[in-house]
Amino acid sequence: MTGLLDRPAVGTWIKLNTPASVEIMAYAGFDFVVVDLEHTTLNLETAQTMIALATASGLTPLVRVPDQSPSTIQRILDGGAAGILVPHVDSAEQAEAVARACRFPPHGTRGSGATGTAGRWGQLPRADYLRHGNENVLCIPQLESEAAVRETGRIAAVAGVNAVFLGAADLAMDIGGGERVPELLARAREQARAAGIPCGSAGGSAQAARQAFDAGDAFVVCSNDTSMLAAAATSLVAAARDTSPAA
């Protein structure tokens, strides 16, 4: 299994359509990046370039796929991703289908694509290629509804699921408000912990990340390239105007 879950890890979402974002995050010291194909217009070709650059830069490359389609999952894993985040997994049955899409037979249904990046363009011995896919690739369902929270224990117990990701924003929308969100997140964390499965979450700030780690999360996706650029640009303009000589 990849070492990403062996210690508290800090990552960020990649949303901008430029591989430079990945390189910048590597220099910044992040442990991993999540290339976001759910809430952006990024395509598979760009994602593969970002995966390769992240790997070369010492980052663990994860990808949030746009749906639970086995064909999408397979293409992303063939592209060399270290793992996937899968949105809106609400049941153990959905989690099992997703996990099987990540694994080769007899553990799953993933087809062989050893001539791609994941197989080092056909240079990786077949046994190593299959072993990597079945043992090292991370399958991380996102729990983003009250139904998913109720199912956390069963989802975490699915063979092939390596961690769960708690989606607080979508959970709040699902229940019609945020008052019960902390309670539901705590319940999900407790069930995952009982199953021996790590949790991850997202936070918009360093403080939110520290709070998530204090709650026991193994990895936190902190902010994103778009928001960091926007915040820095806004702060710079505001500071420059504040210090400009009076007219």
Q: Is the dihedral of CA 98, 139, 70, 166 positive or negative?
A: positive
Report which DSSP code applies to 62.
E
The overall pTM is greater than 0.75? yes
14 and 33 in contact (C-beta within 8 Å)? yes
Using alpha carbons, select from 33, 21, 19, 27 the residue that is nearest to residue 63: 33
- Over the stretch 109-161, which tens digit does the pLDDT of each residue have? 999 999 999 999 999 999 999 999 999 999 999 999 999 999 999 999 999 99
Contact (Cβ atoms closer than 8 angstroms) between residue 129 and residue 114? yes
According to DSSP, the residues that pair with 136 across neighbouring strands are none
Inter-CA distances, 22 with 18, 86, 87, 221, 226, Å: 8, 21, 22, 14, 12
Q: What is the DSSP string of 24-61?
A: HHHHHT-SEEEEESSSS---HHHHHHHHHHHHHTT-EE
CB of 216 within 8 A of CB of 196? no
Domains of the chain, first to last = 3-242 (3.20.20.60)
Q: Tell me, what's the pLDDT at 1? A: 47
Catalytic residue among 39, 88, 107, 132: 39
List, in order, residues 6 or more apart from 132 with CB less than 8 Å away: 118, 124
- What was the pLDDT predicted at 242? 85
pLDDT beneath 50, residues of the chain: 1, 247
For 78-91, how does the pLDDT look when each residue is reduced to its tens digit (9 = 90+)? 999 999 999 999 99
Omega of the bond prior to 106 within 30 degrees of 0, cis? yes
Does residue 39 carry a catalytic annotation? yes
Q: What is the pLDDT of residue 5?
A: 83
